[in-house]
Amino acid sequence: MGLAVTFVSGPRRSGKSAVIRAMIDRLWKHPPHYVRLVRIGSDKRPPKLPVKLPPDLGVASARWLRYDDDRIYHVLPEALTTIHRSDRYGSVVIESDADPAVRHAYPYDHRVFVMPIPSTVSEVFRTAEEAAAALQEVLKDTTTFASEMFGLWDAGAGGDGKDGNERVDLTATQWRGFLYSPLGEELATRIQLQPPYHGLVEADVVVVNTAVGSIPAEGNPCLERASSLLGHMRKLTSRGGEIFVCDLYNENDAVARRLLKALRPMCRGGK
């Protein structure tokens, strides 16, 4: 068993750090290595840490890595290789804001998606008109398709001097055949989500952090729809995690206890 890597992502100010802190305090027996990924140009600033980390910080090491669409495929593997040299059987927790480039930059062992209680349905889901327009666009543009599905390229920014847009001309019958294929159904399901929430369908565990915000009247229908979407993804791909709506620090919450049980396998590693 080598290095175990857990990826925690989600929109900004969703409570990712609080979830990681709870995992460190309550689940990890051996301190994990912490990596924070920040896109170049972001206004986020690294915290000031002493050269020697105090034992009560709960992490074996802490790194702040800046990246762009190209650098992420170099800086992240390099950082993990460095950690692996010093701690062969250790564990790593990576924190990142929602970003398709980061989601596909490494074959993470576990994925956790953290989101706040949605204030509106449109915060998480595209409208039917927006989803239809986005679906039509990605089906006709291979670059947009790859970006939407896999985060492989920045749509419209070709790296070979071209415009990066390759149009695909298919007949109506071919389009229908694709849409009814497993990949077509998966794309049509994913496209319902706003871009910051695409990581939701890839997560092993989805945490709706009730410590951030309060439950509005429109919150429950939105979460029910998200849960239904994940159920559909499980049927299509055998992937898709469970949604836990709770505060991890509330020991009296039965949902929080179930969440801790789901997170426990992600917090192994170390000597």
**pLDDT (tens digit, 9 = 90+) per residue, 85-142?**
999 899 999 999 999 889 989 999 999 999 988 888 899 999 999 998 888 777 776 5
Q: Pick the last residue of a domain from 161, 186, 211.
A: 186
Residue 185 has a pLDDT of: 77
- 182 and 251 share one domain: no
Residue 136 has a pLDDT of: 79
Q: Domain range for residue 154?
A: 128-186
**What is the number of structural domains in the chain?**
2
- 226 and 172 share one domain: no
Strand, helix or coil for residue 98? coil
- 206 and 181 share one domain: no
Average pLDDT, the chain: 82
Q: Pick the last residue of a domain from 150, 165, 186.
A: 186
Residue 163 has a pLDDT of: 47
**CA 129 to CA 107: how far, in whole Å?**
34
Q: Pick the last residue of a domain from 138, 160, 186.
A: 186
**CA 204 to CA 173: how far, in whole Å?**
35
**CA 107 to CA 6: how far, in whole Å?**
10
Tens digit of each residue's pLDDT (9 = 90 or more) over 58-78: 899 999 999 998 999 999 999
Residue 207 has pLDDT above 80, yes or no: yes
